Amino acid sequence: MDSKSDRRRFLQQTAALAGVAAGAGLAAKSGPANAQGNNVHAEPPRRGARYRIDHMTHYTPLHEYNGIITPSRLHFMQQHSSEYPEIEEARHTLKIFGLVDRPLSFSVADLKRLPSVSRVHFLECHGNSSPAIHGEGDENMGLPIQYIHGMTSCSEWTGVPMSVLLREAGVKTAGTWLVNEGDDAGKFSHTLPTAKAIEDCFVAYGQNGDPLRIEQGYPIRLIVPGWEAPFSVKYLRAIKVVDQPYNAWNESMNHSVARPDLGNKARWYHFAFGPKSVITRPSAGMEMRRGYNQITGLAWSGGGKITKVEITTDGKNWRQAKIQEPVHTKAHTRFTFDWEWTGQEAMLVSRSTDETGELQPTLAEMSKYHGISMAEWRSKEKPRSIHTNWQQPWKVNKDGSISDAMFA
Ligand SMILES: Nc1nc2c(c(=O)[nH]1)N[C@H]1C(S)=C(S)[C@@H](COP(=O)(O)O)O[C@H]1N2
Ligand SMILES: [Mo]
């Protein structure tokens, strides 16, 4: 990988460096408190206090479906509260206010009357593929790919472009940032640069032809293509146009990771995901049979379309995989590769390249990017890390069993 362009991208993806109070690490360990209550920009957790984090997660079984659209019922789910909000669609509104000429309020029916788009995009949690999940003694260790990489899914979303809504409201020149707020118990909120909103974001009410599932934000959610999923606020109810990033609780405290190599400062923002891919079949926990075996998996990138996927079966030599059409931008892309398994040990890895020319990094390259040493990755107490797109190796053993060789 070109380290210069990597560095550039890194800087682009990172809007701010910020000092983080000792409490952040604490909160991170025990998870986010839903204790945000109704105050979106609640005070940061106090040192020494105990935080309880209400959190629900469902993982997508990536190895159990075909093509590029995740069946809606299998879409992953990350909810920062202990229950789903019960929203009556007929009474729900989306308000746009702040630095605008005309503050507006839309009912869901109003939104459905406006010009719409249907687009295929992936969503991926910033915590997907986290090192902790591979950890020895981790309750998820040895479980299938679902629990390692299953916090990403891909759907056809239908909704109204943000460019339409923001034009209606008339954003003032100073309105360079948005604070988007959800209607769930914690009033989950996230900042977004106005420029990105206008470029390709939309307020979705449809998921694969149906209304959004309640897990995905019924009746409406924001879709921020290619960027880590916390930007895509569910149960969207308010867009406040502001002149600077607000760093709502989840982004500044819960989703930031203190970095020893940065003097315990944290990167508050990680925007687009770089090129990523994973072999979904065969993968950890499955049994290999001798003879012909199709290797298949998914590749995606926040940088645009996937242009190339390569596979190695010996951990060294790379050959090109077939890419299945259609290829959508910022969407899961299906690849396949013909293979004969002769009964020998094998190391199966995929790596993708996107239309910007960026190549999916190895663990060693990511290690530099995260400022974490290989020894730390391999230690029992894995460092907390987010926004990872390293290559995933699966080891095929002589007896046909397959294991996760990520930190082996
Ligand atoms: N209102 C609201 N929006 C939210 C969240 C939330 O808890 N509440 N979680 C965020 C996070 S961290 C992720 S990874 C994605 C998950 O989207 P999904 O549950 O539809 O898969 O939603 C984001 N938007
Ligand atoms: Mo997330």
Q: Tell me how far apart the alpha carbons of residues 52 and 33 are, in angstroms, rounded to a whole number.
A: 5
Instruction: From 77, 87, 125, give the residue whose CB has the most ligand 1 atoms within 8 Å, as the site to mutate.
Output: 125
Q: Tell me how far apart the alpha carbons of residues 361 and 340 are, in angstroms, rounded to a whole number.
A: 27
CA of 343 from ligand 2 middle (Å) equals: 39
End-to-end CA distance of the chain: 22
Residue 267 falls within a domain, yes or no? no
What tens digit of pLDDT does each residue of 32-59 get?
A: 222 222 222 223 333 333 344 567 889 9
Q: Is 269 exposed, middle or buried (0-12, 13-18, 19+ CB in 10 A)?
A: buried
What tens digit of pLDDT does each residue of 59-72 get?
A: 999 999 999 999 99
Those residues whose C-beta lies under 8 Å from the C-beta of residue 166, and which sit 6 or more positions away, are 96, 100, 194, 197, 198, 241
Is residue 296 within 8 A of residue 334, CB to CB? The reply is yes
47 and 126 in a single domain? The answer is: yes
pLDDT on residue 41: 24
Distance from chain centroid for Cα 314:
29
77 and 139 in a single domain? The answer is: yes
Residue 95 falls within a domain, yes or no? yes
| Confidence band of 21 (pLDDT split at 50, 70, 90) | very low
Those residues whose C-beta lies under 8 Å from the C-beta of residue 196, and which sit 6 or more positions away, are 224, 227, 271
Mean of pLDDT values over 120-135: 86
pLDDT on residue 381: 72
CATH number, domain of 63, equals 3.90.420.10
CATH number, domain of 322, equals 2.60.40.650
173 and 292 in a single domain? The answer is: no
pLDDT on residue 137: 56
Residue 130: pLDDT above 90?
no
Residue 19 falls within a domain, yes or no? yes
46 and 122 in a single domain? The answer is: yes
Q: Could you tell me the residue range of the domain that residue 291 belongs to?
A: 276-404
Q: Tell me, using a 6 A CB cutoff, whether residue 234 lines ligand 1.
A: yes
67 and 183 in a single domain? The answer is: yes
What tens digit of pLDDT does each residue of 216-230 get?
A: 999 999 999 999 999
Q: Tell me how far apart the alpha carbons of residues 213 and 150 are, in angstroms, rounded to a whole number.
A: 18
Q: Tell me how far apart the alpha carbons of residues 67 and 339 are, in angstroms, rounded to a whole number.
A: 19
110 and 157 in a single domain? The answer is: yes
Task: Name the closest-CA residue to atom 8, ligand 1.
Answer: 188
Give the C-alpha distances (Å, rounded to integers) separating 2 from 5, 221, 351, 357, 371.
Answer: 6, 36, 15, 10, 17
Q: Tell me how far apart the alpha carbons of residues 197 and 167 are, in angstroms, rounded to a whole number.
A: 11
For residue 2, the number of C-alpha atoms closer than 13 Å in the C-beta half-sphere is 8
Give percent of the chain above pLDDT 90.
Answer: 65
CA of 58 from ligand 1 middle (Å) equals: 11
What tens digit of pLDDT does each residue of 349-368 get?
A: 999 999 999 999 999 898 88
222 and 344 in a single domain? The answer is: no
CB atoms within 10 A of CB 317: 9
Q: Which atom of ligand 1 is nearest to the CA of 184?
A: 1
Q: Tell me how far apart the alpha carbons of residues 274 and 268 are, in angstroms, rounded to a whole number.
A: 17
Mean of pLDDT values over 294-302: 98
pTM score of the predicted model: 0.86
Rounded to 5°, angle at Cα 332 from 330 and 336: 135
Task: Name the closest-CA residue to atom 19, ligand 1.
Answer: 77
Give percent of the chain above pLDDT 70.
Answer: 84
Residue 124: pLDDT above 60?
yes
CA of 150 from ligand 1 middle (Å) equals: 14
Residue 73: which H helix or E strand, with range?
Answer: none
Q: Tell me how far apart the alpha carbons of residues 227 and 266 are, in angstroms, rounded to a whole number.
A: 18
| Confidence band of 31 (pLDDT split at 50, 70, 90) | very low
Which is more confidently placed, 171 or 11?
171
233 and 294 in a single domain? The answer is: no
245 and 335 in a single domain? The answer is: no
Q: What is the CA radius of gyration of the chain?
A: 21
Number of domains in the chain: 2
What tens digit of pLDDT does each residue of 74-119 get?
A: 999 999 888 899 999 999 999 999 999 999 999 999 999 999 999 9
What tens digit of pLDDT does each residue of 232-247 get?
A: 999 999 999 999 998 8
